[in-house]
Structures are given as structure tokens and as C-alpha cells.
Amino acid sequence: MTSTKDAVTARGEWVRQANRFTERITADGSSAYPVEPGRYRLVVSLACPWAHRSVIVRRLLGLEDVISLGVVDPIRDERGWRFTLDPRGRDPVTGLEFLSEAYLATDPDFDGRFTVPAVIDTTTGKVATNDYPQLTLDLSTQWRRHHRAGAPELYPERLRAEIDEVNAGVFRDVNQGVYRCGFARSQEAYEEAFDALFARLDALSERLRERRYLVGDSITEADIRLFTTLVRFDAVYHGHFKCNRHKLTELPVLWAYARDLFQTPGFGDTVDFDHIKRHYYRTHPGINPNGLVPAGPDLSGWHTEHGREALGGSAFGEGTAP
């Protein structure tokens, strides 16, 4: 049996389950899944930061007519992600009622969480990949022939080593770090994750004080990966996951940086705060047993001036907005 469940160490540290389906979709046909427009369906939750990355990249690269998008209900039940937002509660392309059906069709012994994003091969109804870190990189590199005219370079070869280095720290301490705070089962594990999270946020603030984007002079994969955590920070992670040294709005550099991205096409227009809040506050009964969804925070600040243009750079480099 394939065991891919989340775990908790003896020290009370929460450990995320491994991605089960790590096959790639490649342009040269070297993998089990070749690049083929119209064949694949990207299934996401708009609440999930890991899935949100793929939604942003798909939009920035203009792949909307090449890879279709299925959106699940932000509220899961014991059977996992549901297609209850669609007519008759079924995904109109795959016919699935639950994402779990595709997981179990691919591996009947799968016993972990049914996670998003997941790319479904519509010819078989099976999961091609749920490897979220590689997925967005492959959208940039393997699907290049199908990018829109003017699509930006999100993972330029000359910057990949630096992007990978930045991503590694952001993943460990920020993307993953907020969950390590929220799901810690000991004070020691929580405080260790908390300290690492805010140490990394402080370092990122310094990095971004004199530069508009994390790597280079335009948006890259690194900015996308950081943004999906920052945009959820005050709405969810600050209170729900006890990441409460500061709110994002109390970190001037990161708050301006996040607003800059939010106001860039492809970012803020892919954010659904209703889905985000309802998912987190209603599906973690161990943290929020009453399931109450907070009325705040005030979201109007996301649309205020950020002043980051003065640092130079251009959102899409030599490319154009979607």
C-alpha cells in the first residue's frame, strides 16, 4: 500500500505528505504524458495556496484555452474535494463528483489526502500529476509552444539557480512554515516554526527593500510562490495558524510588495477571499471547532497605492500583461 499521509514527529512537528503522482507532462514525449492541448484538466481549489500558483501561471502564460480548469468547492467533507460548484455536482469535463475518484482510479491503494492541484488526463480519467512544485515549472518550460504571444519568462534559464535558491528558503520557512505553526503539536515545534517564519519574512523584507521583485527585474516563479502565502496571511495565517508576531499590513516592505503583485493582472484577479476563509476556518475542526468564519479583515487596503514603481523593473519584462 502507498502511504502518503501527513505525519507528526515525536517532537510534535507536522510533516506534509509527499506528492504521490510525480510523472511529468513533457514536450518531447519522454514521459508517460506528452504535452497535448485539450487533453488535460487542471483541478484546483481557489482556497489552496499550492493550487493558486498554477492558476496564476496558467493565466500569465495564456494557457486558458490549452489546459481547462476545474474548481472544487472550498469545503471538503470526509470524502475530500467535491465538485458541488458545478451543475448536478459533477465536473462537466471529467464527470467526477469527487477528486478522490481520479486518485483511486490511478492508485486503488492510495490512502493519503486527495490534494490539489491535480492534473487529470481526460482520456483516462486518471491523475497525471499532483506534483505542485514541478507543475508550474513545466507550464513555463514544457508548454512553451502554446504560450500566448507576449507571455513573460517566469523561469528564465539564466536565473534558475537563484530562483531555486530563493524558492527553497521560502518553501521551508514561509509556504510550509505557516502550516508548521498551525498544525504543530508541541510548544517547542510551534515556536521553532514561528521563529523561522518571521526570520525569513524579515530577510525577505531586507531583500525587497531596494528591489521590486525577488529575482531579476521582473516577476518570476519566486514571486508567485511567495505571493500565494502573503495574500492569505492576514485573512488566515495570522490568527488561525497563530502566526501573530505581525500582520502583513504591519510589515511595510512586504505589504507594499504584496499590493504591487495583487494589483498586477493575473494575481489579484485570481484571489477569492471568500473561498480562502471558508475553507480554512470550516475544515480544521481541531483548530476552530465551532467553524466560525471571521468577518474581517478589511480588504480595501489591497487596492491602495504601493509606490514600488520607483524601484524600477517591469512586471512582465519584455512580455505583456495577460
Q: Which residues are annotated as a binding site for glutathione?
A: 81, 113-116
Note whether 222 and 214 are within 8 A (CB): yes
Whether 155 is catalytic is: no
Amino acid identity, position 235: A
Q: Which one of the listed residues 132, 155, 179, 281 is annotated catalytic?
A: 179
CA angle 92, 97, 98 (to 5 degrees): 125
CA-atom Rg of the chain in angstroms: 19
Phi-psi region of 285 (alpha: psi -120 to 50; beta: other; left: phi over 0): alpha
Active site residue 48: yes
CA distance 231 to 201: 14
Q: Which DSSP symbol is given to 82?
A: B
> Which residues, 6 or more positions from 29, have their beta carbon under 8 angstroms from its beta carbon?
none
Beta carbons within 10 angstroms of residue 38's beta carbon: 10
CA dist 291 and 284 (Å) reads: 8
| CA–CA dist 200, 296 (Å, integer) | 26
C-alpha cell at 306: 504601493
C-alpha distances (whole Å) from 313 to each of 59, 192, 208, 294 are: 21, 36, 12, 37
Q: Which three cell numbers stand for residue 222?
A: 519566486
Q: Tell me which residue of 238, 164, 153, 150 sits closest to 201, measured CA to CA.
A: 238
Which one is catalytic: 33, 48, 132, 257? 48
List the Cα angle 61/63/65 in 5-degree steps.
150
Catalytic residue IDs: 48, 179
